[in-house]
């Protein structure tokens, strides 16, 4: 490893190293959420009930429901942090119908 890379890593404070770890965790979480959103979209497009889809795909229903809950929580958190009101989002959804 080049000397300047070693020096730059050694000069990082513990907080700076923690920030990069947090970014890695956030990236991993975002990847998993995106992956599971695709799985749920596939199930919906195929028109299968959750039980049948899970049997065909080889994973337990509880895992599906756990990930579904995590997706909902992540979506709710994004809405909450964006400052958009639930009433506004509902009005947008109703317009699409």
What would the pLDDT profile of 36-77 be if each residue is shown by its tens digit? 999 999 999 999 999 999 999 998 999 999 999 999 998 888
**Residues 3-28, mean pLDDT to the nearest whole number:** 61
- For 61, the token pair is 């229903």
pLDDT at 12: 54
Q: Is 29 among the domain residues? A: yes
CA dihedral of residues 67, 73, 75, 79 (deg, nearest 10): 180
Domain extent for 43 = 13-77
Q: For 8-34, b where at least 16 C-beta lie within 10 A, e where not — what string?
A: eeeeeeeeeeeeeeeeeeeeeeeeebe
Evaluate whether 81 touches 71 at the Cβ level (below 8 Å). Answer: no
Q: Is 1 among the domain residues? A: no
Q: Is 67 among the domain residues? A: yes
Mean pLDDT for the chain?
A: 78
Q: Is 82 among the domain residues? A: no
Higher-confidence residue of 90 and 50: namely 50
Q: Is 89 among the domain residues? A: no
- For 31, the token pair is 């990847």
Give the chain's domain count: 1
């Amino acid at each position: 490893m080049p000397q300047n890379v070693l020096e730059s890593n050694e000069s990082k404070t513990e907080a700076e190293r923690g920030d990069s770890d947090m970014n890695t965790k956030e990236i991993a979480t975002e990847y998993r959420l995106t992956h599971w959103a695709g799985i749920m979209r596939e199930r919906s497009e195929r028109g299968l009930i959750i039980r049948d889809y899970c049997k065909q795909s080889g994973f337990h229903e509880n895992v599906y429901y756990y990930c579904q809950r995590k997706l909902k929580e992540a979506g709710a958190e994004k809405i909450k942090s964006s400052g958009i009101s639930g009433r506004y989002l509902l009005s947008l959804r109703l317009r699409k119908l």
